[in-house]
Structure 1
């Protein structure tokens, strides 16, 4: 069990969590292993097989502590929370905007401009730092140019199908050369393209786990400003899917997903032994490796960067909350458009 900022992560298999006073206590085999004050805690994430007492469930709901359950692979399973007190006028504005194809397309356009700009930033940073180690430099430079051009084409589009097609074109350019940024020699840590449900190689298993953590943070950010995380713009409604949270995730995947995954592999904080391979081809992170990823993820969130719209430094961990607030302001009519997060 590890507390990072305002979120408590439980990674120990077979853990039993209970309430004692204002504390959360973790037991394994009836032996107390950890005790954390619930004060200022906003989230509890249980990864793998762990159990929570009814008293602690009720306490967390009363205190506004959201509980998320993930599989050992990092796939989201369920979420337990108390009553949601969102702004009904804001949510009505959100629902009207999702039904208005022109407004919906304008928001999707800006989200994708942010996502593709940040994908380009990942490749450009990799070229700047490791150009001498990149094998196919022509293909890499071609992808950089494509990712530079696509946002200009997106700026004039509001048709959702066209925008999704341009997003797919950008993903092909981006992930088509992504493996060249992996600097380790191990063939089991190479990247040959995205795979999910289940991830079929170690790098995809790492990406999926990071995306799940990021989705948890984005959903919490949206709920904190009163938006409905289930009703999105790019990701349309589907039962059980946090569509708006997935929309918000798109802008941060390159920074807190792919870039962080590259750092963990290239710095050898993770290696071949940190992954389990199953007979059906699925791959997942081992328990100790998940802890390593959690620490790195939270350390990255403590770093600061200049927000391009606000013009001031912001903790990376607060960026989803800033973007959620900017989206809410746009939907209320305070901003003419939704300003995406652009990594520089």
Structure 2
């Protein structure tokens, strides 16, 4: 067997395969492994076992080129001259007719270890044992002909799946998904509702972010590594300490310094680092992990199809324009008091949405999307209350550089949204440089620009206009103004960051999936739904709308 081109199969992978072929594929082919509370509990159990069984052989490494298997048995013991592999499970055994039995994935696993033990010591192994700690029982598993054939068949199936570019379908038994650590990646319930509109999904996708974004705005700040923490040092201020597991991402504004050791620490722990200029322009990002080769190959192949790109672009542009329209109508209700410019803009956006449905090329869709955006931005002054300072009123949409305070805020917020979207795309394992709608003509990643359009209104336009109407901005203190451009001051950046991060934490109810989640998680969910469009499970991408 060529170990380079056909590496040995982990015995734990056979356990995953017996449980769910899709789980095996995600872990072994796409190399996606997430640890949830159950996984950490299992690790803790095995650590305790290693300490308790110091006089026995624990965590024994086993491999066999002939079988093509490799693994690490929990414990092996010798009884009456015969080696016996022991596996320990924190859960309960399978109860059948008031008797205790091993679960099929567990029995397959312990038999595989028994076969490896035979090749290691050259002695027959007739049984394996599994200790289920929840009900405190030990189940004996016979290593007979049928059991050995199960292992060999599973190994053959594993090799076949490993050579396939396509994910297996979700499991028919939906109960398997309830306790699977990869449900947030697999999205089995979302797949079921796409195939069956009457399906009542259970939300397995996590609703909240697990960490928090750390924004460093002081130009004199230095970020260092201190053991398993990041330490932020600012002159004449107390040091700030953050453990790795509480950091979702690190965003540096302007010119803070970060040591090489801190960068290594972020890369190792999967903490994205983003740089945003003092003027609010996204500069660069460090995102660990290149993503699965198979996932990117599927992406490249799919997005080389003009028909798919047109379809995705049409859906994205419609979602953006319809969200703009719904927000504008909601902000200018009731209908009889709606200013005439808003009525005209609404009619213009409706016409653009209708034209998008019939557009036959990307250029036509871009033209409709651009016309809808112009109509939307032109009525922004109508959405700002009269009590707001005149300096906060926008004069159309200007960028690179912004020419007024409102546009400076708009561009800064979009830079924050850019880094959030980029982080989600890389976390999912897609290539941000390969998109379907935006033309790759600048340093901005096309796929990030594509997906940002789904969130501009909800994540920044709405909270920004609300903050202006609440008079949260000081036209003098929060902005730096010159004849050439306008950008945010230090106080303005802090206010904008707080506003954006607060919006990310807010929850909304997805109109199609019918469950609530934070806007932060919504970005990742939409990226995963996009990937499903070319993974054989289409139908749910870009269907979220403002109510």
Q: Say whether the fold is shared (TM-score over 0.5).
A: yes
Distance 1:278 1:142 in 2: 33
Distance 1:5 1:272 in 2: 33
**What is the CA distance between 1:339 and its match in structure 2?**
3.4
1:176 to 378, 391, 401: 378
> 2:205 matched to 1:35?
no
2:355 to 129, 132, 153: 153
SS in 1 for 2:247: coil
Structure 1 4/267 Cα, relative in aligned 2: closer, same or farther at 3 Å?
farther
Which residue number in structure 1 is paired with residue 320 of structure 2? 115
Which residue number in structure 1 is paired with residue 223 of structure 2? 17
Which residue number in structure 2 is paired with residue 286 of structure 1? 489
Distance 1:59 1:138 in 2: 56
Q: Residues 70 and 78 of structure 1 are in contact (CA less than 8 Å); yes or no, is this contact kept in structure 2?
A: yes
User: Which deviates more from structure 2 when the two are superposed, residues 75-84 or residues 31-40?
Assistant: 31-40
> 2:389 matched to 1:186?
yes
Higher helix share: 1
Which residue number in structure 1 is paired with residue 5 of structure 2? none
Unpaired runs of 5+ residues, structure 2, are 1-208
Structure 1 43/144 Cα, relative in aligned 2: closer, same or farther at 3 Å?
same
**What is the CA distance between 1:4 and its match in structure 2?**
10
Where do residues 72-91 of structure 1 align in structure 2 (5 Å cutoff)? 72-84=278-290, 86-91=291-296
**What is the CA distance between 1:300 and its match in structure 2?**
1.5
Structure 1 222/173 Cα, relative in aligned 2: closer, same or farther at 3 Å?
same
Aligned residues between the structures: 338
Which residue number in structure 2 is paired with residue 231 of structure 1? 434
> 2:534 matched to 1:331?
yes
Structure 1 30/307 Cα, relative in aligned 2: closer, same or farther at 3 Å?
same
Which residue number in structure 2 is paired with residue 47 of structure 1? 253
Distance 1:238 1:332 in 2: 28
**What is the CA distance between 1:190 and its match in structure 2?**
0.7
2:454 to 245, 251, 265: 251
**What is the CA distance between 1:73 and its match in structure 2?**
1.9
> 2:527 matched to 1:307?
no
**What is the CA distance between 1:30 and its match in structure 2?**
7.4
- Provide the TM-score with structure 1 as the length reference: 0.92
Unpaired runs of 5+ residues, structure 1, are none
**What is the CA distance between 1:196 and its match in structure 2?**
1.0
Q: Residues 460 and 500 of structure 2 are in contact (CA less than 8 Å); yes or no, is this contact kept in structure 1?
A: no
**What is the CA distance between 1:147 and its match in structure 2?**
1.9
Distance 1:130 1:223 in 2: 43
Compare CA radii of gyration and give the structure with the larger one: 2
**What is the CA distance between 1:57 and its match in structure 2?**
0.8
**What is the CA distance between 1:80 and its match in structure 2?**
1.7
**What is the CA distance between 1:77 and its match in structure 2?**
0.9
Distance 2:427 2:289 in 1: 12
**What is the CA distance between 1:31 and its match in structure 2?**
5.5
Where do residues 212-223 of structure 1 align in structure 2 (5 Å cutoff)? 212-223=415-426
Q: Residues 235 and 246 of structure 1 are in contact (CA less than 8 Å); yes or no, is this contact kept in structure 2?
A: yes
Q: Residues 27 and 34 of structure 1 are in contact (CA less than 8 Å); yes or no, is this contact kept in structure 2?
A: yes
Q: Residues 202 and 275 of structure 1 are in contact (CA less than 8 Å); yes or no, is this contact kept in structure 2?
A: no
> 2:405 matched to 1:199?
no
Give the CA RMSD over aligned residues: 2.1
Structure 1 273/62 Cα, relative in aligned 2: closer, same or farther at 3 Å?
same
Q: Residues 109 and 154 of structure 1 are in contact (CA less than 8 Å); yes or no, is this contact kept in structure 2?
A: yes
Distance 1:212 1:30 in 2: 30
SS in 1 for 2:280: coil
Distance 1:116 1:234 in 2: 15
Distance 2:479 2:442 in 1: 31
User: Which deviates more from structure 2 when the two are superposed, residues 258-267 or residues 121-130?
Assistant: 121-130
